[in-house]
Structure 1
Amino acid sequence: MGKKEILVNLKRFEVSRSQGGVCDVDQPGEWLQSVIAEIIRLELDHSEHYNMTVIVPDLLLPFAVEELSKPSVDVALKIGTQSCHREDVALGGHFGAFTSLNIASSQANMGSSASLLGHCEERRELSYSMQKYAEVSGIPVQPELINRAVSEIVGERAVPALAQSMRVIICVGESAEERGEGTFTEQKLRIEQVIRDKLVGGLSHIREQVTSDQLVIAYEPVWAIGPGKTPPDQQYIEYIAGFIKSVTMELLGFEASVVYGGGLKNENASMLAGIENLDGGLIALTNFTPPIGFNVKELSRILTSYTEALN
């Protein structure tokens, strides 16, 4: 069994609680550095069971890299960023500026080694822009076409990330509307079609150059994310992970690594570790009751529960 992938997605922590965010201090950069320092101190990044990537907003990337660059620090963890523009600078080509858009070369130059693409929030924003354009233009809104276009854009964003030697983590999953009513057996065909379409759009632009060690697919059950939602059970996740692997084999000639993107936490760590088709999980929060947030000691508990169940 190869090493699992643990993705720690600190996407919410660039704004302090005093300003309406969930960062515990008023200087988010200092908070991130303290988090990384504690991960290293507890040696959570060194494991025979998993590789760890901490994914941060671009605004906090310099703070993360600075902490990792301190002398005499033996660091195994990698730093990743959250999406990138579909274009990039090139020798003899476009040299900028891509106003307000994050480009892969700048992220890589600042120390990012991975790019998280197609998260449900990113897809929602892209979809909103297309729907608004259709409404203003008087064009009938066609959700299927919009979803297809969104997946194509996600795939285009993977191209410059790979060109900058970053791993790409592509999120796919179904919403409540896409899943529809009925039993899981009745929903299967709808779910499969949604996920297949997102994989085809996301992978068609990179199928000639991507390798198995450059790609991770994060399964993100959108319908189960949020307070009060019931997460999918082991059978559900195991089936979807297996389906994703079969589609990537069909499209790419290899089974991509699949991680659970709906939230690896202490409550489901043992269950997720027992799913053969899963290659890891994504951790975004560790505390889900007020004060909602992220705590390295809780991260350690989650990883302990997860790795003990792997043995």
Structure 2
Amino acid sequence: MRQSLVMGNWKMNGSRAESLALAQSIVAGLESGDQGVAVCVPFVYLSDVRSVIESTPLALGAQNVADQEKGAYTGEVSAAMLKDCGCTYALVGHSERRSYYGDSDQSVAARFCQAQKQGIIPVLCVGETLEEREQDKTFAVIDKQLDAVIDMAGIDALANSVIAYEPVWAIGTGKTASDDQAQEVHKYIRQRIAEKSQEIADKIQILYGGSVKPDNAKALFAMPDIDGGLIGGASLDADSFLSIYRSI
């Protein structure tokens, strides 16, 4: 049986004090036996938050990782640096990175590989825009995004990764894919991976991201191929985030 995972993405929000307080509130709501819960924190607060969550069930993640190992890449943060800060996870290919900063399928694949070289679990974000969905291109977009990683890293690399399906039209808009819409794409992703490795397809965690809230989480997480969520806005409130986590 697959382990569920609920991961908060704080994006570019919060001060140092607010980040510490949020982490402390989440930790206070967890029990010693809890597992499968993480937060992706702004780079500058990773070490601060690490000091709060060490020896707790809450794992630490970064919101991006450089596509190069080291060198003259001003403003980038390498996987080795993230590892040094205690990161277990790193998001790669979030739709906001693809849309606003031009991350290509190839650079996302390179980021995926850099994370794995340092033992960080990459969380590969895939998903279609509203225009692509309306043109029935959802599966073609997913194929292209997945294939870029598989072509560069190999199918076996997916065994130590997480996939997050994020319909771009549902991120930060208040719109959410219906339970059946989300399940349809999650099932497709798992079947697509199964074409190359049934073993990996059976084990890989596929999360749903796109305006997940306490009132819709339980129904989404009940779908057979949805293994948890990548939570945006609701992760900035400890009670909401914990409520979503308890919906698994």
TM-score by shorter chain over 0.5: yes
Task: Quote the residue 1:170 is aligned against.
Answer: 124
1:81 aligns with 2:65: no
Task: Quote the residue 2:188 is aligned against.
Answer: 243
- Paired residue secondary structure (1:210): helix
Q: 1-side partners of 2:232 and 2:134: how far apart?
A: 27
User: Which of these residues, 205, 228, 239, is aligned with residue 257 of structure 1?
Assistant: 205
User: Which of these residues, 60, 73, 87, is aligned with residue 98 of structure 1?
Assistant: 73
Offset of residue 119 of structure 1: 0.5
Cα gap change, 1:203/1:57 in structure 2, threshold over 3 Å: closer, same or farther? farther
User: Which of these residues, 45, 48, 53, is aligned with residue 68 of structure 1?
Assistant: 53
Cα gap change, 1:42/1:226 in structure 2, threshold over 3 Å: closer, same or farther? closer
Partner deviation per Cα, 1:214-261 (whole Å, 9 max, x = no partner): 21110001122233x532111111110000011122345521321001
Number of residue-to-residue matches in the alignment: 245
- Asked if structure 2 preserves the Cα contact closer than 8 Å seen for 1:219 and 1:258, the reply is yes
User: Which of these residues, 145, 149, 157, is aligned with residue 202 of structure 1?
Assistant: 149
Task: Calculate percent identity across the aligned residue pairs.
Answer: 25
- Asked if structure 2 preserves the Cα contact closer than 8 Å seen for 1:207 and 1:252, the reply is no
- Asked if structure 2 preserves the Cα contact closer than 8 Å seen for 1:170 and 1:216, the reply is yes
Task: Quote the residue 2:91 is aligned against.
Answer: 116
Offset of residue 11 of structure 1: 1.2
Q: Counterpart of 1:121 in structure 2: which amino acid?
A: E
What root-mean-square deviation, in Å, do the aligned CA atoms of Structure 1 and Structure 2 show?
Answer: 2.0
Q: Counterpart of 1:299 in structure 2: which amino acid?
A: F
- Asked if structure 2 preserves the Cα contact closer than 8 Å seen for 1:219 and 1:261, the reply is yes
- Asked if structure 1 preserves the Cα contact closer than 8 Å seen for 2:87 and 2:120, the reply is yes
Q: 1-side partners of 2:49 and 2:133: how far apart?
A: 38
Q: 2-side partners of 1:226 and 1:80: how far apart?
A: 20
Task: Quote the residue 1:282 is aligned against.
Answer: 230
Give TM-score scaled by structure 1 length.
Answer: 0.73
- Paired residue secondary structure (1:83): coil
Cα gap change, 1:235/1:261 in structure 2, threshold over 3 Å: closer, same or farther? same
- Paired residue secondary structure (2:241): helix
Q: 1-side partners of 2:115 and 2:31: how far apart?
A: 27
Q: 1-side partners of 2:31 and 2:91: how far apart?
A: 21
Q: Counterpart of 1:301 in structure 2: which amino acid?
A: S
Task: Quote the residue 1:7 is aligned against.
Answer: 7
List structure 1 segments (4+ residues) > 4 angstroms apart after TM superposition.
none
Partner deviation per Cα, 1:38-63 (whole Å, 9 max, x = no partner): 2222216742xx50111111111111
5 Å-filtered alignment, 1:42-61, equals: 42-43=29-30, 46-47=33-34, 50-61=35-46
Task: Quote the residue 2:20 is aligned against.
Answer: 33
Q: 1-side partners of 2:172 and 2:50: how far apart?
A: 31
Partner deviation per Cα, 1:74-121 (whole Å, 9 max, x = no partner): 4122101011111113xxxxxx34211111111111111111000011
User: Which of these residues, 257, 267, 275, is aligned with residue 215 of structure 2?
Assistant: 267
Cα gap change, 1:4/1:45 in structure 2, threshold over 3 Å: closer, same or farther? farther
Compare CA radii of gyration and give the structure with the larger one. 1
Q: 1-side partners of 2:180 and 2:53: how far apart?
A: 39
Q: 2-side partners of 1:120 and 1:201: how far apart?
A: 15
Q: 2-side partners of 1:79 and 1:280: how far apart?
A: 16
Q: 2-side partners of 1:231 and 1:296: how far apart?
A: 21
Give TM-score scaled by structure 2 length.
Answer: 0.91
Q: Counterpart of 1:116 in structure 2: which amino acid?
A: L
Cα gap change, 1:45/1:53 in structure 2, threshold over 3 Å: closer, same or farther? farther
Q: 1-side partners of 2:90 and 2:32: how far apart?
A: 19
Structure 1 portions without partners, runs of 5+: 14-22, 90-95, 128-148, 182-186, 287-292
